[in-house]
Amino acid sequence: MKIQESAENYLETILILGQRQTAVRSIDIVHELNFSKPSVSIAMKNLRQNDLIVMDTDGHIALTESGRKIAETIYERHTLLSKMLIDLGVDPKIAAEDACRMEHVISPESFEAIKQHIHSKE
């Protein structure tokens, strides 16, 4: 399933927040991304409707299996592309910003080739 870049960013953010804290709520996403509460609320509704997240009665958000798969893919791309750019001498802030854009458009084949190349150099 192809989802929008914004949905991928939300899923990645939920994954990252979930690694840092015990529970993730919409307000945590608001603060992390510096988005408005209504924007995050609409996004969470769309992610629920697409079975990418579940939300309990306390407002705690969890990724579904398909949501976690997407989030982990995007996070792996972001991490590897950022590291690659930094290793090439790009300022870490710029590398992170560029990786954030690249992670959504790179094909699985190209990313796999980059990953294999980087791992062969380690």
pLDDT, one tens digit per residue, over 26-47 is 999 999 999 999 999 999 999 9
Read off the pLDDT band of 2 (50, 70, 90). low
Residue 1 scores a pLDDT above 60:
no
- Please state, in angstroms and rounded to a whole number, the distance separating the CA atoms of residues 115 and 40: 32
Could you tell me where in the chain the CATH 1.10.60.10 domains are found? 70-121
pLDDT in tens, 50-62: 999 999 999 999 9
Please report where in the chains the tokens 């992390």 appear, as a residue. Answer: 32
Q: Which CATH architecture has domain 5-66?
A: Orthogonal Bundle (1.10)
Which CATH entry fits the domain spanning 70-121: 2.60.40.10, 3.30.70.1560, 1.20.1530.20, 1.10.60.10? 1.10.60.10
- Please state, in angstroms and rounded to a whole number, the distance separating the CA atoms of residues 50 and 27: 21
